[in-house]
Amino acid sequence: MKQMSPVTIINGRVVTPDGIREGSLHMADGRIAAHGDGDVVDAKGKLVAPGLVDLGVFAIDKPAFHFGGITRAALMPDQSPPLDLPSRVSYIAKSGKPDLWVHPLAAGTRGLAGSEIAEVALMQEAGAKGIATGRQWIADSGVMLRLLQYAAMLDLPVFCHAEDAALVGDAVATAGEYSTRRGLPSAPCEAEAIAIARDLALAEMAGAQIHFRQVTTRRGLELVRRAKKDGLRVTSGVTPAHFMLSDLATAEFRTFARLSPPLRSEDDRHAVREAIADGTIDVVASGHDPRGPEDKRLPFSDAEPGMAGAETLLAMVLSLVRDEVIDLGRAFELVSTNPSRLLGVRAGSLVEGYEADVAVIDPDKPWVIQSAKMAATAGNTPFDGQPTQGRVTALWKGGLAIEI
């Protein structure tokens, strides 16, 4: 389905790579256009911004994504069955259209077992936009090096989970005062830094582009910061939970706060906010991983990790703008421009010729996050009951209006 008639959005505050400008935005033939006529939409002073590109989700929830202003999502390979064959990747790459584009990330190893490298080149031809290790760290350094060398040859980024598996084991919390008091199996936060240090060294050897999907500790962030200064092809991401919450949120054993990696200390939370401000963190993603009662209504140690994050991603990032951690331009770099660049797609910026994935946003609209009323298949959000601000009021994918 293609855009039939041009659309012009007027009276908006348009978020562009050069800053915020007052004026109009034109969409024609599914792309951002220099000029236009056709249908006119009055933004009434609201933000006109690129649709969000959610980098690394575990499930596709169209209603939740539309609510959150997400027009593209990179799907992790941790599916049933895993995305480790070209046929599976091809099926996912064709799903979702026209109102949501799903970009599959290929499993780096067969069955995500971390031992035998998958046929990544064939999966790239089938539509994979990157390679991912999934929820797990590849413990075998030889396998990881070969995967990075393969990725470098194909010019594909490798999306890594950064926790040393031998140190983490069955841990559900970060080692410290709170996990000790609650008697929770825990792992030292250094498990993240150790994994990052090894993978950075291997990526440098291979000349590969590496993306750490979540970096949540001060030590891990310092390693990424230093690697960037040294010129390595490294980027990093985080989810809102790790800049909004600390391990204090597990005080009442609420399993909505059971995440992977687990919530960290207050010092680490502040370190994440500093890294967002100084550019060490390139992407904020939802980590969308809805879990039903059968997975969450359990003792904390037995519950599955994960959160339904698609609907709250925009509001949580806009909270950083209100707190003056970042400005609006930087906010949309984190959730639109940089994810698109990593995936190699011409989207995520309101630039002439790019895909017309556009959201009209009221950044001040108040609402209360309620897990029972979420559009996702499950409402396991750690922000349940939290008042917030910022809602999408209109959305277009490739110039086509989407009902939200």
Assess if residue 388 is contained within a domain: no
For the chain of 404 residues, list the mean pLDDT of each consecutive stretch of 10. 88 95 95 87 97 97 97 98 98 92 98 97 98 97 98 98 95 88 90 98 98 98 98 98 93 85 97 98 97 92 94 98 97 98 97 97 97 92 96 97 92
Task: State the pLDDT at residue 294.
Answer: 92
Please report whether residue 7 resides in a domain: no
The answer as to whether 45 is a domain residue is no
Residue 181 pLDDT: 83
253-286: pLDDT as tens digits = 689 999 999 999 999 999 999 999 999 999 999 9
Contact 61, 96 (CB under 8 A): no
The answer to the question of residue 246 being in a domain is: yes
Please tell me the total count of domains within the chain.
Answer: 1
Judge whether 151 lies within some domain. yes
Range of the domain at 241: 51-352
CATH of residue 238's domain is 3.20.20.140
What is the CB neighbour count within 10 angstroms for residue 280? 25
Answer whether residue 234 is part of any domain: yes
- Residue 263, C-beta contacts closer than 8 angstroms, at least 6 positions apart: 173, 174, 241, 242, 245, 246, 247, 249, 250, 257
Distance CA 314, CA 311 (A): 7
Can you give the pLDDT at residue 252? 74
Residue with structure tokens 């687990």? 262
Q: Given this model, what pLDDT does residue 37 score? A: 77
Decide if 145 is inside a domain: yes
Does some domain include residue 193?
Answer: yes
